[in-house]
Amino acid sequence: MVKNTEINLSTLAKDLKRTPSDAVVIGVGQGSDGPVLLENPLTAKSAEALTDSLKVLGVTGAADQVVRLPGLPETGSGVLVLAGVGKVAAGRPLTEEALRRAAGSAVRQLSGLPTVVLALPTAGVADVAAVAEGAALGAYSFTEYRSSNDGLKDPVRNAVIYTDVTANDALRSALTRAGLIGKAVNATRSLVNQPPSHLYPESFAEAAKELSKGLPIKVTVWDEKRLEKEGFGGIMGVGKGSTRQPRLVKVEYAPAKATAKIALVGKGITFDTGGISIKPALGMGDMKSDMAGAAVVLNTVLAIAGLGLPVKATAWLCIAENMPSGAASRPADVLTMFGGKTVEVLNTDAEGRLVMADGIVAASLEYPDAIIDVATLTGAQLIALGNRTAGVMGSDSVTGPLKAAADRAGELVWPMPLPEELRPSIDSQVADLANIGERHGGMMTAAVFLREFVGKGKDGEQIPWAHIDIAGPSFNNGSPYGYTHKQGTGCTVRTLVAYVEDILAAAA
């Protein structure tokens, strides 16, 4: 169902002419006095002539600027590409994220060229890894529902990184990791981009099985009969208004020598009309992306398995379609959630927290070291943090490392508080809880609701937990930028993989 986009990654340390390519990319930065040609493999004479011509050519070095020129004899390519990396300062190396974005932007904009050499400055393995990851993220397209590919350009198939870094096991591992991360992010994007006519609870569950093939992964699916029998009232309550019945999917990677145990819970609303509390028509088509959280946690576990990390990682995909019908939940209905708590549904468009609550309870029963849930949960997230920054809330022991992992991965995440005065606002007159509360600070109110369902560990204390609201950054309605394409972005996969790597490194 999901046609993934992958790229071949390799390195080159010698004469460019030995590796024929369709384009060679070198970097240009924005210096205090104008554009600056960065370290590159050109001859001194060619580099000097090019430097003298930058302003005349209109090259600024701004991020995302890509300028194509005729190739030079020493490059072995017909095209020389100048890729902007943004602001630079003398004596200050480029950040990994600047390299990642420059490589991703160049590869994205060079679609139609099969092989591209990326000759950006790389001082060590981490820099090479950043360039490789950017290339893997930039090489993406989603065309599976086109009747013809006429006029469309295929993404770059081969990215060769020109570097002086000596080839060794660390470098090979870095390229392997970059390829797996790119594959996971692009699979997430493709799931988010699926039309709701084709991606619905049952087909999403099948896609999870398909994507897991070839990996040491166990996939378990709860259909509507099992969900009803076992008391998953949140998922059933949201999904019963649709003719396409809900699913809960457990995706488990359990290596024999696991040293940590993590649970990931993802919101999988394959289409969200708002239910009886129906949304306005304007922009409703974007609600095909309301399953991004489930796509993220699925592909995070697949990436962890592909990397062979010694951690037991379990993804819980809470999947339903939120539709209005004679069978749909009504405002004022009371649902009995998995685990027994009751919730008064005051707004059927606050459905994500209902399916997530069931998943969090189920995850808690396995006593993981931490639970992280990911969801396109609230419009309030966009109001608070905009389109590109995710909000993270929960236990300090999880939110702090998540923020550090996001910084390392190059993703934008910002910690938000959970003020105690918000808890009384979700009290109900007829049930244990109401599914909406204080309007102001709605992103945090939703997290306070979810916290009520986090179980206790074997030590009797609440399991460390974090909630990541990706309502804005999961879907790009604007222009492409860096390695980010339009529509599904695949955000947070890289952060979660980095988080797992960090906790393993800390325990080593």
Catalytic residue of the set 100, 240, 312, 353: 353
Q: What is the rounded distance in angstroms from the CA atom of residue 260 to the CA atom of residue 253?
A: 12
pLDDT by residue (tens digit) across 253-312? 999 999 999 999 999 999 999 999 999 999 999 999 999 999 999 999 999 999 999 999
- Under DSSP, the state recorded for 255 is -
Q: Which residue has the tokens 């084709």?
A: 198
- Whether the Cβ atoms of residue 61 and residue 28 lie closer than 8 Å to each other: yes
What pLDDT, in 10s, does the model give residues 329-341?
Answer: 999 999 999 999 9
At 258 the pLDDT is 96
Of 377, 262, 368, the closest CA to residue 318 belongs to 377
CATH topology of domain 199-507: Aminopeptidase (3.40.630)
Mean pLDDT of 487-505: 98
Q: Which CATH architecture has domain 8-182?
A: 3-Layer(aba) Sandwich (3.40)
Binding-site residues for Mn(2+), in ranges, read 267, 272, 290, 349, 351
Do residues 320 and 269 make contact, with C-beta atoms less than 8 angstroms apart?
yes
Q: Give pLDDT tens digits for 184-235.
A: 999 999 999 999 999 999 999 999 999 999 999 999 999 999 999 999 999 9
Predicted pLDDT of residue 243 = 98
353 labelled catalytic: yes
Residue 108: its pLDDT value, please? 98
- The catalytically annotated residue of 157, 279, 403, 423 is 279
pLDDT at 508: 80
For the question of residue 279 being annotated catalytic, the response is yes
CB 160 within 8 A of CB 117: yes
- What mean pLDDT is predicted for residues 478-482? 97
The burial class, CB within 10 Å (0-12 / 13-18 / 19+), for 255 is: middle
Domains of the chain, by residue range, sit at 8-182, 199-507
Give the whole-number percent of the chain exceeding pLDDT 70: 100
What are the pLDDT digits (tens) for 51-76?
999 999 999 999 999 999 999 988 98
Going by pLDDT thresholds of 50, 70 and 90, the confidence category of residue 3 is confident
- Over range 112-122, report the average pLDDT: 97
Asked if the model's pLDDT at residue 17 lies above 90, the reply is no
